[in-house]
Amino acid sequence: MKNTNTASLLADLREGRNLSTQVQSQLILLLSGPAILAQLSVTIMQLIDAGMAGSLGADAAASIGLVSSSTWLIHGSCTGAVYGFSVQCAQAIGAKDKNAVCLSRQGLYLVLAIGLLIGLLGILLSPYIPVWLGGESSILSDSTKYLAVFCLSLPFVLLNSWAVQMLQSAGNTRLPSLIQIVMCFLDVLFNYLFIFIMDLGVMGAALGTCLAEVCSSLFLSYHVLFKDPFLKGSLKPHYTRTSIRRAWQIGLPASIEQIITGSSYVMFTRIVSSLGSISIAANSFAITAESLCYMPGYGCAAAASVIIGQCSGAGRIDLQKQMAWRICRIGVFMMTLSGVAMFILAPYLMGMLTPVPEIAQLGIQVLRIEAFAEPMYGASIVITGILRGKGDTFWPAILNLLSIWCVRIPLAALLSVPLGLFGAWIAMNIELNFRGLIFLIRLKKTFSKDSGMKTNTM
């Protein structure tokens, strides 16, 4: 029923029909709800990985924590290829343009080529990256294995991202969320098999996640290619100067944004790694636990990209502005609630992840610091989705560069000396609040400019 309602409401949007305040909120929740569930499943999968690896001891946990920021950087640097075509698809569907099929195929071939190239490069560099990050000798071997397996699976990781984004651009957030939940259960099964039955330790955690990603990506890709009413078809990709230029304009800043963010995580990890294995493990577990709070923000951001993208394609500028601010308010409210929950539940979350008291206590402290940053961090996440739907990936990259590298990293380096991991997370809290503020300013300027353009036209 919900999926039918979503399709009907998006059809009303594309056809230019009036959407009341209540209907706008309903559409946001219908699209964001499944996306939040998808984020929940991915987060649970990370918790499972961390918990199973954590049961092997502090060194095993630290070996994954050391390279986790590098896996984010590698994955993030490739996502521009996905967004470069998924945003165009959403806008084409909003404009009722059948070129969406061709655009999705262009994106498919590009992400597979990039996944193979970057994955191979990552495998070659996997023995050196843990050393560059300053890892202790006792964890270097496991870190290398974990990173190498991740890079081996990168084509399927990107294929999964492509399929999810394409289905979401067509307004289908339900199926991707269901499959991500299935992927979570598969991850539990495969992890248990590889870590405990086959006794592969940290490498088993990587293999379990890899195999779960393969299953999810293949199923969702089949649905995009042969089942989705907006995207199915046997049309061969026809690359044009317009589509390539537009993909470049959208995708390059999106990749740069992810590189900025991912490289900052690497640098943050480098700062933390000097504090010892206990701090590395606590930092890794706390980040994994904190990601539970991100779910509402990323769910609303996914809904925003669909709604704003289709509004843009349909030329509905006034509705686009209304929906943007409404999504932002809903996302910030949800992230506020999740921040409160994280503050209260921090001991239980860390207790699930590690049996080591020193790691758990340190993780609880930093999680409670970060709880106060969640509302403004939510604003930056949702606004990134809004701007992406408009095809604007340039300003999110600039604002992230300003916030992360001019505020977080210098403060973390400064405060970690006297305060350890506690000081590094205070720096993160300050930066996330600053980031939310500048993103809100950018959102206001974006739609003030759009209103001015419309007035002049009239």
Q: Which residues contact 58 (CB under 8 A, 6 or more apart)?
A: 277, 278, 281, 354, 356, 359
Alpha-carbon gap, residue 365 to 247, rounded angstroms:
43
Report residue 423's pLDDT band, with 50, 70 and 90 as the boundaries: very high
pLDDT band at 328 (very low <50, low <70, confident <90, very high): very high
84: helix, coil or strand?
A: helix
- pLDDT at residue 453 in the model: 47
Question: What average pLDDT does this structure show over 105-109?
Answer: 91
Q: 284 and 64 in contact (C-beta within 8 Å)? A: yes
Report whether pLDDT(39) > 80: no
Q: Which two tokens stand for residue 386?
A: 């809004």
Distance CA 204, CA 194 (A): 4
Reported as a single tens digit per residue, the pLDDT across 435-451 is 999 999 999 999 886 65
pLDDT at 350: 92
Residue 49: pLDDT band (50, 70, 90) is: low
Ramachandran bin of 237, using left for φ above 0, alpha for ψ from -120 to 50, beta for the remaining angles: beta
Joined tokens for residue 343: 């503050």
Question: Residue 196's pLDDT is what?
Answer: 87
Task: Tell me whether residue 8 is exposed, middle or buried, using C-beta atoms within 10 angstroms of its C-beta: 0 to 12, 13 to 18, 19 or more.
Answer: exposed
pLDDT for residue 1: 35
pLDDT > 70? residue 306: yes
The residue with greater pLDDT, 366 or 59, is: 366
d(CA 337, CA 280): 28
Q: Which two tokens stand for residue 132?
A: 């560059």
> CA-CA distance, 84 to 302, in Å (whole number)?
15
Answer whether 364's CB lies under 8 Å from 334's CB.
no
DSSP string computed for 285-339? HHHHHHHHHHHHHHHHHHHHHHHHHHHHHHT-HHHHHHHHHHHHHHHHHHHHHHH
Q: pLDDT for 370-414, tens place per residue? A: 999 999 999 999 999 999 999 999 999 999 999 999 999 999 999
Instruction: Name the pLDDT band for 210 (thresholds 50, 70, 90).
Output: very high
DSSP-assigned letter for residue 344: H
Token output for 411: 């403060």
Question: Binning pLDDT at 50, 70 and 90, where does residue 50 land?
Answer: low
pLDDT tens by residue, 260-284? 888 888 899 889 988 988 998 899 8
Cα separation, 303 vs 312, whole angstroms: 14
Residue 91's Cβ-count burial label (10 Å; 0-12, 13-18, 19+) is: buried
Q: What pTM value is reported for the model?
A: 0.83
Which residue do the tokens 């380096």 mark? 413
Tell me the pLDDT band of 235, cut-offs 50, 70 and 90.
low
pLDDT interval class at 77 (50, 70, 90) = confident
Q: Which residue has the higher pLDDT, 234 or 275?
A: 275
Share of the chain above pLDDT 90, in %: 56
**pLDDT at 45 (0 to 100):** 64
**Residue 72: pLDDT over 50:** yes
